[in-house]
């Protein structure tokens, strides 16, 4: 009788232990599948990180931890280093987002182990060995494009007289004029620096094509996205689509975070 009682107690203890282990492993699996909540935003040339304010507000209200890189725009390496410093601060996996020149930056910086997915906003998507300069010249530029030749210091500006029509046509003239006045000039050497390892070759990529873009030919954006196998969203907007259509851009970032989370 006592032996039977002891056996029942033993079985009960083993069963309880199995349930406890299952709960632990279930919790671990659930933790591993949890939603990616870190988003790092990388700006392009002729702008700065403050342009992401609307996007920042939308994403943070959705519960995302958003960080904005301030690129020095002095070289590809310098911008990648600045981006990696912010990525390394994150407490988990990251959706890395780049606009315009920032696309080249995230292509190189995206190999960081913390980066889980990439989102390109009217951006360069270079392959291994390619440069932004090669890509932007692959098709004719729009007449409104105001990218000037490098000055005596090797620095490139966007013509302030063309900034509204060529960069931010769907902003008010007053807002476009302010962006032109506060633009971040870029060193020409950035455009001639080749990508060493393209992160999109091993990580999921999403691309937004701004169909009214006059700074980068929209067909170039389409060609790059197709070559990279990116999931494409087209938005009728100027080059600053992330400002004028922040909700639509945020939706793509949210989709990337959700899809990548499910696949992890």
- Domain 36-263: give its CATH code: 3.40.50.1820
Q: Please list the alpha-helical segments (H only) found in 41-193.
A: 53-61, 76-89, 101-109, 132-136, 163-167, 173-181
Helix and strand totals (H; E) in the chain: 10, 8
Query: Average of pLDDT values for 223-249?
Result: 98
Residue 47 has pLDDT above 70, yes or no: yes
Summarize pLDDT for 123-143 with one digit per residue, the tens: 999 999 999 999 999 999 999
> What percent of the chain is helix, strand and coil (3-state, nearest 5)?
50, 15, 35
The confidence score (pLDDT) of residue 35 equals 83
pLDDT for 128: 98
Kindly state the average pLDDT of the residues 164-169: 98
| Predicted model pTM | 0.87
């Amino acid at each position: 009788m006592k032996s039977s009682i002891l056996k029942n107690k033993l079985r009960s203890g083993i069963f309880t232990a199995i349930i406890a282990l299952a709960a632990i492993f279930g919790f671990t699996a659930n933790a591993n599948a949890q939603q990616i909540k870190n988003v790092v935003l990388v700006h392009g040339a002729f702008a700065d990180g403050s342009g992401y304010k609307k996007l920042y507000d939308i994403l943070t209200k959705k519960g995302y931890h958003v960080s904005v890189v301030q690129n020095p725009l002095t070289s590809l390496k310098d911008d990648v280093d600045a981006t990696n410093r912010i990525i390394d601060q994150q407490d988990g996996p990251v959706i890395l987002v780049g606009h315009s020149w920032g696309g080249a930056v995230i292509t190189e910086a995206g190999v960081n182990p913390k980066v889980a997915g990439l989102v390109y906003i009217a951006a360069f998507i270079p392959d291994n060995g390619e440069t932004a300069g090669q890509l932007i010249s692959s098709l004719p530029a729009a007449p409104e494009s105001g990218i000037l030749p490098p000055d005596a210091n090797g620095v490139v500006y966007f013509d302030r007289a063309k900034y509204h029509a060529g960069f931010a046509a769907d902003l008010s003239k007053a807002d476009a004029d302010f962006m032109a006045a506060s633009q971040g000039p870029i060193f020409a050497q950035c455009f001639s620096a080749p990508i060493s390892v393209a992160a999109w070759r091993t990580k999921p990529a999403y691309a937004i094509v701004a169909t009214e873009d006059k700074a980068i030919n929209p067909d170039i954006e389409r060609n790059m996205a197709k070559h990279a196998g990116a999931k494409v969203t087209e938005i009728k907007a100027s080059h600053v689509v992330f400002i004028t259509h922040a909700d639509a851009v945020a939706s793509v970032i949210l989709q990337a975070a959700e899809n990548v989370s499910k696949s992890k």
